[in-house]
Homo-oligomer: A and B are copies of this chain.
């Protein structure tokens, strides 16, 4: 890990700058895939599945029998764990439900706002060595709670054309039955444009590799909404001399094991604490199966030594981490001063992995500094709000002249006349 001692804000901003990537090369690869699926539909999807995933798919969709039978292949302890996680995620996301807002703004001028489910959503679940069934929970639970009418889940198969049974079990547990056995940009294209068998969705959610990310970025410009811009995963751990160095080290490592571009940042007022945690990191990394990845990620990671609480809070807010762990004695006193972060983990017994899987909060969070403007995925992400107004004769009599003056000043005559005609009819 690199070491940085706080001097001033400008240097801090420079030191904590994330690497930037040139997406244009990836976009040039992805754009033709999108175009071909847009024109060629299922046939094109099948062709790309063969080309990239080396699998011949007769049916692009998971068979319903297979979906039900997946349960038999999952260990009972894991099923129970998934059910408990589902219960917690459901409880916390259900509480995010917003009642309709209705008010008489002035006599006869009634305004309202209601949350309406986004009708059709697509959930992308990456494949690869580790099946991310936890992401099925994090996206599927709020989609179902929101009341989305159509939910498509897309995920790649192995070379035998099989989807991981834990992913299938979790989807089925949530009542998600439309499972597209396709990954990559071709899956994003199928959901964004629609094909003979895939409905065009309104919004696409979920993580993915650089091709998936680029495809989501491109289709979000003019075709469908997406959950949020993507970037490598991040954690910032704040520690002091009360912090158990092994706890803090393993939290940094659980970020570092995600990928070589994952960012793990340690912040402390105590040099002693930083040295102890770095020693733990160097010892514990050796025990990890993914130690090669973790070590590579650690090379770009940083320890930041600060002198005061102000500098500490500044460091947090300048960086705006996806995950922020306060493993310090006086954690609560800092928490109120955090303005930029995705999710905050407070105290020694709250490692990030608790939130990644089962505390109830969502693990789809803003990375790459987007926490300064974006929220993580929540029930809201699967809904949009429509406003309503209903004005009575009395209401337009009182407020109409206000609108006439303003429309006139903006030189929008028809806007004014739409009110004037109505006011005149009421004088008759």
Contacts and interface: CB of A to CB of B under 8 A. Distances in A.
Interface of A: 20, 23, 77-78, 80-82, 84-85, 88, 91-92, 95-96, 98, 101, 103, 105-106, 109, 111, 113, 116-120, 129-134, 166, 202-203, 217, 221-222, 224-225, 229, 244, 246-247, 250-251, 253-254, 256-258, 284, 287-290, 294, 331, 335, 338-362, 366, 370-376, 378, 380, 384-393, 395-396, 399-403, 405-407, 409-419, 421-422, 425
B354 A391 contact: yes
Nearest to A361: B387
A376 B370 contact: no
Contacts of A335: 388
Q: Of A221, A224, A357, which is in contact with the most chain B CB atoms at under 10 Å from its CB?
A: A357
A111 B257 contact: no
B250 A392 contact: no
B342 A409 contact: no
Given A109-B360, A225-B373, A355 B414 contact: no
B92 A105 contact: yes
Contacts of A351: 418-419, 422
B224 A229 contact: no
16 contacts: A80-B402, A85-B406, A91-B103, A95-B103, A96-B113, A105-B359, A118-B372, A119-B339, A132-B410, A250-B417, A253-B414, A288-B413, A342-B386, A344-B387, A346-B390, A354-B419
A359 B399 contact: yes
Contacts of A376: 385, 387
B357 A407 contact: yes
A328 B171 CA distance: 44
A131 B347 contact: no
Given A105-B91, A250-B414, A414-B257, A389 B202 contact: no
A363 B167 CA distance: 42
B359 A389 contact: yes
Contact of A399 (B84, B109, B221): B84
Nearest to A102: B95
A406 B357 contact: yes
Contacts of A88: 105-106, 109, 399
A289 B413 CA distance: 7
Given A111-B92, A371-B384, A357 B421 contact: no
Contacts of A372: 118-120, 202, 384
A158 to B, nearest CB: 15
A34 to B, nearest CB: 15
A225 B203 CA distance: 17
B375 A385 contact: yes
Given A103-B95, A346-B388, A224 B399 contact: no
A360 B406 CA distance: 14
Contact of A246 (B289, B346, B421): B421
B105 A386 contact: no
A20 B353 contact: no
B132 A402 contact: no
